[in-house]
């Protein structure tokens, strides 16, 4: 086992998704494969039908049937095959370069994983990453791995795939604008969910009303997300020199910025009597402080923040 092992590759993708690197290979031509193409790619790297079947968690007879398909293989199956073959091709390139398997990685990844909680996977990934940074074998493996053409997108369930596509788009935006997308999506999805329940409960509720609510929610979410992104964009570097205290200051600034983005127009346009009273503003300030401290503690904690965010 090594970096070429599908489990490790899939793990790396699950924890640190980098869809931007795959986006270029969402390639219709590449996915229009026939049975003959599977055989050719499999044999080019000296993989037996049994080996490939094992990697696919399929019976060799099933793979044999797929390899006999004359026309174009259905897209979802082609994705699975393309992904598994691409990983095997990388592994073959590493072997061809004569680089041995790293005993440390083999030890770490062969350990049984009784609970596959995101935390334990994340911890394993961190261990692997820390080890690979200093291990000469791992570095050579990684160099060959990275010299390969970009991996195709992993075969994910449709909803996850849609989200990772959106994330790929979001990654092209400047960092401080990305939360706008997530804010819009989050609010929109939440409202869509509520609209669906509402429609289910009251047959009379208009579809157009529900649709409008979703659009408004997406707009509000994008607006709040933008306020969040812009304040953290400026607050993060300004407070980073204060270390852990700076994390809390960033959290407070982001909470205040996002809160004011909603409260200030509401007060200016007199949308809510809440903002006409000192009590209203006092409650808002208390809320901002509490939320800001939680954000500083959980979200803006320095070691967890990805570089360049
Ligand atoms: Zn190593």
- Please tell me what DSSP assigns to residue 74: P
Say if residue 184 is in the same domain as residue 139.
no
- Of residues 234 and 307, the one with the higher pLDDT is 234
- Does residue 168 lie within any of the structural domains? no
Question: Of 120, 153, 186, which closes a domain?
Answer: 153
Give the H or E element holding residue 118: helix 118-134
Say if residue 190 is in the same domain as residue 262.
yes
Question: Of 95, 121, 153, which closes a domain?
Answer: 153
**What is the CA(107)–ligand 1 centre distance, in A?**
10
* This prediction's pTM: 0.46
- Does residue 236 lie within any of the structural domains? yes
Say if residue 12 is in the same domain as residue 125.
yes
**What is the CA(83)–ligand 1 centre distance, in A?**
24
Residue pair 4/132 in contact by the 8 Å Cβ criterion: no
Query: Helices 136-147 & 118-134, crossing angle to 10 degrees?
Result: 100
Query: Which tens digit of pLDDT belongs to each residue from 164-201?
Result: 666 666 666 676 677 776 666 666 665 655 555 555 54
Residue pair 262/225 in contact by the 8 Å Cβ criterion: no
**What is the CA(113)–ligand 1 centre distance, in A?**
20
The least confident of 34-43, 82-91, 180-189 is 180-189
**What is the CA(112)–ligand 1 centre distance, in A?**
19
Residues 60-66: contacts with CB under 8 Å, at least 24 apart: 63/38, 66/35, 66/38
- Sequence-ordered list of residues with C-beta below 8 angstroms from that of 131, at least 6 positions apart, any chain: 104, 105, 108, 138
- Does residue 304 lie within any of the structural domains? no
Domain hosting residue 140, numbered range: 6-153
- Does residue 272 lie within any of the structural domains? yes
Count of domains in the chain?
A: 2
């Amino acid at each position: 086992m090594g970096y070429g092992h599908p489990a490790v590759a899939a793990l790396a993708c699950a924890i640190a998704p980098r869809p931007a690197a795959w986006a270029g290979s969402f390639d219709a031509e590449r996915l229009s494969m026939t049975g003959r193409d599977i055989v050719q790619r499999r044999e080019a790297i000296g993989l037996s039908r049994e080996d490939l079947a094992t990697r696919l968690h399929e019976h060799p007879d099933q793979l044999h049937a797929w390899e006999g398909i004359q026309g174009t293989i259905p897209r979802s199956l082609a994705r699975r095959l393309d992904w598994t073959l691409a990983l095997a091709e990388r592994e073959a390139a590493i072997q061809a370069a004569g680089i041995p398997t790293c005993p440390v990685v083999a030890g770490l990844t062969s350990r049984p994983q009784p609970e596959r909680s995101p935390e334990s996977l994340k911890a394993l990934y961190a261990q692997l990453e820390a080890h690979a940074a200093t291990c000469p074998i791992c570095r050579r493996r990684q160099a060959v791995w990275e010299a390969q053409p970009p991996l195709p997108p992993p075969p994910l369930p449709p909803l996850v795939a849609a989200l990772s596509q959106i994330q790929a788009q979001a990654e092209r935006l400047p960092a401080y604008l990305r939360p706008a997308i997530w804010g819009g999506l989050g609010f929109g999805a939440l409202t869509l969910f509520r609209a669906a329940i509402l429609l289910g409960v009251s047959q009379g509720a208009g579809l157009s009303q529900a649709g409008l609510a979703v659009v408004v929610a997406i707009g509000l979410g994008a607006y709040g997300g933008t306020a969040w992104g812009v304040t953290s964009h400026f607050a993060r570097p300004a407070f980073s020199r204060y270390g852990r205290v700076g994390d809390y200051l960033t959290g407070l600034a982001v909470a205040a910025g996002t809160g004011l983005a909603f409260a200030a127009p509401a007060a200016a346009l007199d949308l809510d009597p809440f903002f006409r009273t000192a009590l209203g503003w006092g409650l808002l300030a208390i809320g901002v402080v509490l939320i800001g401290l939680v954000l500083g503690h959980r979200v803006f904690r320095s070691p967890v923040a990805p570089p360049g965010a």
